[in-house]
Amino acid sequence: MTEAGKSSFFPTTIWSEILPRGSGAGDSAAALDALARRYALPIREYLRAALRKDGEEASDLAQDFFVWMIETAFLAKADPERGRFRAFLKTALRHYAADEDRKKAAQRRGGDRRIVPIGDEDGPALAARAEASPDEALDRAFRAEVVRQALGRVEESLRREGKEAVFSVFRDYFLDPEEKADYREIAARHGLSTADVSNHLQRAKALYRSALRAIVLETVRSAGELEDELLWLFGRAPGGEGAPKAT
């Protein structure tokens, strides 16, 4: 594929949002704002696992991470040609976590900042996450965020078309935490025929597949990486029988 072909296949990526367009602090701040809007949860979950913090402390550290990105000009070091955005994010977080560890070590040697011990109120949650590595925690949250964004796009698209019922059927059939209902139950719930339910599900699943691919496409740089990332995320082509949940 020619370079022009690559450009047309990948017109917009997360890299185009987060890489500073200039050298000013405003550019970096805007770039990091885009990053925070999309991937705050994966970032927080990585830091929670890496630094053994509770939810509130991890959220504070996630905010500090964005400040650190500006202060160290880390975005300027990013090279979108070297890999997927998810890999870049892990690299940045590892550097930040290492800096935090060095700061704590300096404080233990007599620094002037007091270390506040973690309370027990989040003990069960911390224990549950202790089994996962920081990379695993980020991957799990990243996967959930991709699903959440895709569902949001599907819902918004159908809402604009005035077809909220299509998403309601999709939500109730695939996303309800209770045991999955059959077509007849869904039809009775929404005053539809079973044929309507089938058509609504086909429509919503097609939109969902398209949304998932579009979101993942924004984080990779080639068709091969796109398929690899989809396989990593879902183990199969997304949007088949069943739908990944953002949990």
User: Which of the residue ranges 75-79, 131-135, 151-155, 174-178 has the most confident prediction, judged by mean pLDDT?
Assistant: 151-155
Query: Do residues 155 and 167 touch, judged by C-beta distance below 8 A?
Result: yes
Q: What is the DSSP letter of 112?
A: S
CA 13, chain centre distance (Å): 14
Which amino acid is present at 1? Answer: M
pLDDT value of position 109: 55
Given a cut of 90, is residue 129 above it in pLDDT?
no
| Both structure tokens of 21 | 């367009």
- What amino acid is encoded at 226 in this protein? L
Using alpha carbons, select from 90, 92, 98 the residue that is nearest to residue 66: 92
Residue for token pair 């202060």? 71
Please report the pLDDT score of residue 13 as a whole number: 63
What is the DSSP track for 126-186?
Answer: HHHHHTS-HHHHHHHHHHHHHHHHHHHHHHHHHHHTT-HHHHHHHIIIII-SSSPP-HHHH
Q: What tokens were used for 208?
A: 């969902």
pLDDT at 243: 55
Q: What are phi and psi of 240, to 5 degrees?
A: -80, -150
Candidates 114, 148, 154; CA nearest to 39 is 148
DSSP classification of residue 32: H
Rounded CA separation 149/212 (Å):
8
CB of 45 within 8 A of CB of 125? no
Considering the entire predicted model, what is its pTM?
A: 0.69
Q: Which two tokens stand for residue 178?
A: 């209770």
Q: Which residue has the higher pLDDT, 106 or 216?
A: 216
The listed range with the strongest mean pLDDT (144-148, 193-197, 214-218) is: 193-197
Instruction: State pLDDT tens for residues 45-66.
Output: 998 888 888 778 888 888 888 8
Helix (H), strand (E) counts: the chain: 11, 0
**Mean pLDDT, rounded, for 118-135:** 51
